[in-house]
Amino acid sequence: MTETMRLNVPLNALRAFEAAARHLSIKDAGAEIGVTPSAVSHQLRILEELLGVDLMRRAGPRLELTETGRVLAPELTAGFTRIIDAVGALKNERKLGPLRLSMLPTFAVHWFSPRLATYPFTRSGFELLISATQTAVDLTAGVADAAVRHGKGSWPGVLAEHLFEENVALLGKAELATKDEASLRKSIERANLFLSQHRRENFERWNDTLPGGPIKPAAITIVDSAGLGLKAAIDGAGLTLVGTEIAGQDIVAGRVAPLLGHQIPANAGYYLCYPPALERDRRLRNVRAWMLAEAARSSGATEEIR
């Protein structure tokens, strides 16, 4: 950074002087910037000492600017006005632009995307900018406006709106589900299980509680997401353990089917998360209402599947 780009006096002191110069009142300046009159006076003294000049003086009961103060004050007012305008324009752009919505790829592909035909994209206040990532984006840093997360519903600095809990089951091609249990177990023991790295504990618990005793697939291939495992099962490459809520559309369409009639709670769910500052944002309220309605509708469909 060049020398001309450095600010060698405190910004708070400049702000205090600019407000006092406009109001010609220490008290009114303090009220505007949210500090006590004594704090304004302190900042003025700091500024005058750093600059080596007097900027304001008392003329009886009145406060007036010195010649130097009259030169500096309008320049500071213009500068602070530009800052206020720039920040205001950015806030308006975020308020009027699309809601930046982040979500996990598995949720995006298998739950969110199949329902987009019902989303009112053309209505004002429903505009979206959708991104899918395995990383939990930092909503408090403004990386996105809202996000769909998987977990127990507690993340620091954000509000979490519960969409649905998750139950996991073993899924495979629909024709496998037509076999009797003995034949199905033999098929499973010859199959490759595509297991998400996040589902290891779920599979152990599912297998330990399986009526008739646990099973041992011929191979277990660890993948980085439940979505990849589900795609492998849909393509007939093997089996997968996944949430029946996420796979609901694929089950209804007959692309996969639950096997062995056994499922367990995942002890986690999906949540729409957003910073408290956006709680009253029209765009957030719109997408929230739509997602909650879809989740409620899907919950009924999932009960039928079970």
CATH number of the CATH domain containing 302: 3.40.190.290
- Kindly report the pTM of this predicted structure: 0.68
262 neighbors 188 (Cβ within 8 angstroms): no
Domain boundary among 39, 64, 96: 96
Query: pLDDT exceeding 70 applies to what percent of the chain?
Result: 92
**105 and 217: one domain?**
yes
Q: For residue 204, which amino acid is it?
A: E
Mean pLDDT of the chain: 89
CA 56 – CA 54 distance, rounded (Å): 6
pLDDT tens digits for 236-271? 999 999 999 999 999 999 999 999 999 999 999 999
Give the residue from 297, 296, 183, 168 showing the smallest Cα distance to 233: 168
Please write the tens of the pLDDT for every residue from 5-57. Answer: 566 788 899 999 999 999 999 999 999 889 999 999 999 999 999 899 999 99
Q: Does position 305 have pLDDT exceeding 60, yes or no?
A: no
76 and 44 in a single domain? The answer is yes
**pLDDT at position 87:** 67
User: Is the predicted pLDDT of residue 304 greater than 90, yes or no?
Assistant: no
Domain range for residue 66?
3-96
> pLDDT tens digits for 167-200?
999 999 999 999 999 999 999 999 999 999 999 9
Residue 174 in tokens: 């629909």
Encoded amino acid at 294, one letter: E
**Among residues 78, 96, 114, which one ends one of the domains?**
96
CA–CA separation, 42 vs 46, rounded Å? 6
Domain identity same for 296 and 210: yes
Q: What is the pLDDT of residues 192-232, one digit of tens each?
A: 999 999 999 999 999 999 999 999 999 999 999 999 999 99
What is the structure's pLDDT at 141? Answer: 78
HSE (side-chain half, CA atoms, 13 Å) at 130? 17
Work out the pLDDT band at 89, boundaries 50, 70, 90.
Answer: low
Instruction: Please tell me the predicted confidence (pLDDT) of residue 59.
Output: 81
- Domain match, 123 and 57 both: no
Same domain flag for 30 and 144: no
User: Tell me, what CATH number does 62's domain have?
Assistant: 1.10.10.10
Co-location of 75 and 191 in the same domain: no
Q: Which of 250, 267, 69, 120 is nearest to 172 (CA)?
A: 250
**Nearest 10 degrees: CA dihedral of 22, 28, 34, 37?**
110
Instruction: Identify whether residues 82 and 106 lie together within a single domain.
Output: no
Q: Are 38 and 77 in contact (CB under 8 A)?
A: no
Q: Give the integer Cα–Cα distance in Å for 143 and 137.
A: 6
Q: Is the pLDDT of residue 1 over 50?
A: no
Q: Which of 60, 75, 96 is the last residue of a domain?
A: 96
Residue 4 has pLDDT above 50, yes or no: no
Report the pLDDT value the prediction gives residue 2, as an integer from 0 to 100: 44
